[in-house]
Structure formats: structure tokens, C-alpha cells
Homo-oligomer: A and B are copies of this chain.
Amino acid sequence: MKLRIRRVPLDTLRENVAVLSASCTALRPESFQAFKRLEIVHDDRVLIASLDVTHDLSLVAPDQIGLTDPAFCRLGLPEGAEVSISPARRPQSLSAVGQKISGGALSGLQIGEIVRDIAAHRYSDMEIVAFLVGCAGFMTSQEVLDLTRAMANAGTTLHWPSPMIVDKHCIGGIPGNRTSMIVVPIVAAHGLSIPKTSSRAITSPAGTADTMEVLANVDLSVAEMRKVVEACKGCLVWGGHVNLSPVDDILIGVERPLNLDTREQMVASIMSKKLAAGSTHLLIDVPIGPTAKIRNGSEALKLRKLFEYVSDQIGLKVEVVVTDGSRPVGRGVGPVLEARDVMAVLRNDVAAPSDLREKSLRLAGLLIDQDPAVRGGAGYHRAEALLASGAALAAMERIIEAQGRPRATPALGALQADILAPSDGVVLSTDCLRISQLARLAGAPIARGAGLDLFRQVGDRVEKGEPLFRIYAAEPSHYDLALAAAREENGFALGVTNGENV
């Protein structure tokens, strides 16, 4: 018996959800409840969806099947089209997930099947969590390698004419820290190909794609991206249209809300994206700090070893560089504010944040050092020269022009409030997590002009009543939330110079 498709206007994110009427004519929904998964078939199209039930005939009638937004879009049939349904068979690869959960190591074949099933949206969110948490127990280096390869193969893979494709990646977690937008124009100005794809923020106040979007269009297709790189040597685009390692995006969407963050997943995630992107030389920025993802040197060392193992096996040259992750980099936190800092550095403004400038030069220098034509150790000076001469700024302008300028430049949030020092003292530390939270509460990254502008850094002396930072928000509800949260805990620890808290 057939059911007609009805769109149910609900965005259930990743998960395919179907809705049956409690008095469905094709099959009793109760029969599915234990499994909650059903298979929707139309000719050779098959979609697996989780099941909700409704008693409201106006939402879904007994001879209809409701499909929420992601399910409707993925099936790609019009409303009214006829489909048949049956209880979904468990994806066979779930038995390998069970094996992983009970402590087994999986073969490359098994990991490949799991990744293919996830890519085809055959796993429920709960099944994805089961896989990820099972892997969080332990993964062998071989499993990490197999997962990297399988994820890279599950999407687009890019190939470039140039034999040397450099890239940089930061494992994240540090507010500000928009070095990519300075490193890419410097390296491109030097003459190396650096086609950078970035993500939008998921749990941070801005991703590189969000910040770049303040200055230029970042929604480029693969063909458009190629043109930009051909013309400018570099680009700074959103990875969403490029479809590199799409399973990585699915996994991240599940990991983030659960705070699942293992070394193994991180390596597979980053390396699968870079492998698919056709990179040959990769620089990985690993900030260490008490509120960063990596808390100490021994964790960083383990991470570096795993990156090196996987990259050696897949034939990608990787250099891991450990940086200071104890404090935000730059002054702005949030897309518009960060874009301001980036352009200040590129323009050689005297007021440009020196920490952002220094870190970007260091990273760019290390990438330029990879160029066989450059004398060993000369990379930093070359980077500095390209920045000082305006060549990097010119490269950035070319990239912006090639990607397309935005129709309107987003403005800073109109609602502003300064958070003041409660006492005299010296800034002993700043809590990166808290700074990020406050910027998000203020509305970043969705509100481009929202975020924090930091006036003080670790080591600065402040007097009672002087502003530590300014909150920018575009909407009263965000403004209220951020202000209340900042008054509760602003992330700045003040003390006297001998380190004793005041």
C-alpha cells in the first residue's frame, strides 16, 4: 500500500524524520515504535528516517507520510508523490559499531562501510553517537588512518595543476585568532598555491568563513573556487559547497553538542578534509593553554605524533606548530570585529594587534619555508617583507575582488556596553572559553556585528572602573543575556603583580 508525501515544515537538522498518522492505513505506526526507523521507497530511491507519530489529521492524514525538511529535501520528490514504507533494516555496518563498543578494533573494510552508511544518511543521530563514543574509548593508529581515508573518499576530492598545494589549519578554541586571513594573502603573494576552505562557526563566536564573509562572498562552487585560485594563488571560501569529507561535518554536528573531542577524531577530521582538498603541505596550529583544547605539552606531543603517523601514510607533508593558547589572539571576537583586526594588520596600521600580526607572520613564514626555492629559515623574513610592502594587502584585495564583494558591509552591533574592572590590578589571565561564550551570547556569529572588543590583555595594568572590554549586540534579547552573563563572570582574572588575587 502506498502513502502520499506531505511536507512537514520542521527543520530537524541532520536527521531524517518521517511522521505517520496514528491511524496510518499502510502500517500501524506502533509496529515501528520499538525501532523508530523506517525505509521509504520510490522506484530506486530509498530513504531511511526516524519516526514520529501524530494524532492530528490536518498535519498528516492516514494515507500520507509526513517528511520534515531534511528528509523531504533528500528524497527530492514533490508533495503528493507516492512511496511505500517498511520497517528499516538495520544498516549491516551497525554490527561493526557493536564490535567497536565492546572493545574491538575495526578493519578498514568495516570502517569504510560505516562511513558510507553515514554519508548516505542511513544512521540515526543516536547510532552516530554510538559509533563516536565507541571510538572515543580507544582507536588504533590504523583505525584513525582508515577512518581518514574513508571519510576523504566519501565526498569530493580536489586535484590541482600545481604540484605544491599548501594549507594551514588551527585546531581551534581560541577567540579571535583569525590568522588564516593574513597567512593566505602573504603566502599567495609569495607565489605558493593556498586554496583555503574554512568552516562556519558551530560552537565558537566566528569561523574563518563567517569573518571572511564580512569582506567577500564565500559561497563559491568548486569551479568558482578554482578560478579564484588560478587568478590569485589563494582563496578563503566556505567549505560547504565543496563537499569535502561531508561525513566529517555530520560527525562534528554530533560531537560538538556532546563535547566529544578526542585526539583521534580530531586527526581523522582534519586530515580527511585536507586529503580530499588535495593539499600537499599542511601546517597545523595547536594552541596550548588552560582553557584551550590542548592543555599541556604531553597532550600536544601525542597529537603531533598521530598527525605525523597519518600524514606519512597518506603522503601529505605535515608540520605541527605549538602556539600560545592561553589568551585570545587579536582584539575583536566576532566576525565584523575580527575582520577589522585582520585588515588593520594587512594595512600595517600602527594600532593593529601585534599578537595577531606576529603569529600570522610566524605561520606564514613556516609555510614559505616549505618552498624549495626559499633559503632555509628565510620564510619569516620573506613573510614580513610581503606584509610590510603591501604585497599581502594587495593579494587580499585581489582575492576579495575575485570572490566578489558583499552587497552590503555588515555594521557593528548598535547596542554596546563596557565591562569595567572591579578593582585596580594586573590582568593575570583571560578565560578563552568564557570570552567565546559571551561573544556567542551577544549574538555572534549569526549577528555579524556582535561580539566583544577586548581592550586589555594578560599582563596589562588596569585601574578600577576602566573598561576591560566592550560588548556589541544587535538585538536587545542578546544584549541582555550577554551583559547579565558578563556581570556574573567576565573571564578576566585581576591580581597584584606578585600573582596574588585581589
Residues of A within 8 A of B (CB): 1, 9-13, 19, 22, 26-28, 30-31, 33-37, 52-56, 59, 68, 86, 90, 94, 98, 101-103, 124-127, 129-130, 133-134, 136-138, 201-203, 254, 256-260, 262, 440, 443, 446-447, 475, 477-478, 481
In-complex Cβ contact of A260 among B86, B101, B443 (8 A):
B101
B86 adjacent to A257 (CB under 8 Å): no
Contacts of A262 in B (CB 8 A): 102
Contacts of A33 in B (CB 8 A): 13
Question: Measured between C-beta atoms, what is the minimum distance from A411 to chain B in Å?
Answer: 17
Beyond A9-B54, A28-B478, list 16 extra A-B contacts (CB 8 Å). Answer: A27-B477, A27-B478, A28-B447, A31-B446, A31-B478, A34-B203, A37-B257, A101-B136, A103-B138, A124-B257, A126-B126, A127-B258, A129-B129, A129-B130, A130-B133, A130-B260
Counted per complex, copies of this chain come to: 2
B443 adjacent to A477 (CB under 8 Å): no
Bound-state Cα–Cα, A201 to B30, Å? 12
A257 adjacent to B35 (CB under 8 Å): yes
Contacts of A257 in B (CB 8 A): 34-37, 124, 126
Bound-state Cα–Cα, A52 to B8, Å? 12
What 6 A-B pairs come out closest when comparing CB atoms? Answer: A9-B56, A133-B133, A129-B129, A11-B53, A137-B137, A30-B446
Contacts of A26 in B (CB 8 A): 477
A37: nearest chain-B partner, CB-CB: B257
Contacts of A101 in B (CB 8 A): 133, 136-137, 260
State whether A9 and B477 are in contact (beta carbons under 8 Å apart), knowing that A28-B446, A446-B28, A446-B30 are contacts in the complex. Answer: no
A481: nearest chain-B partner, CB-CB: B86
Bound-state Cα–Cα, A68 to B8, Å? 14
A137: nearest chain-B partner, CB-CB: B137
Bound-state Cα–Cα, A12 to B86, Å? 19
Bound-state Cα–Cα, A481 to B39, Å? 14
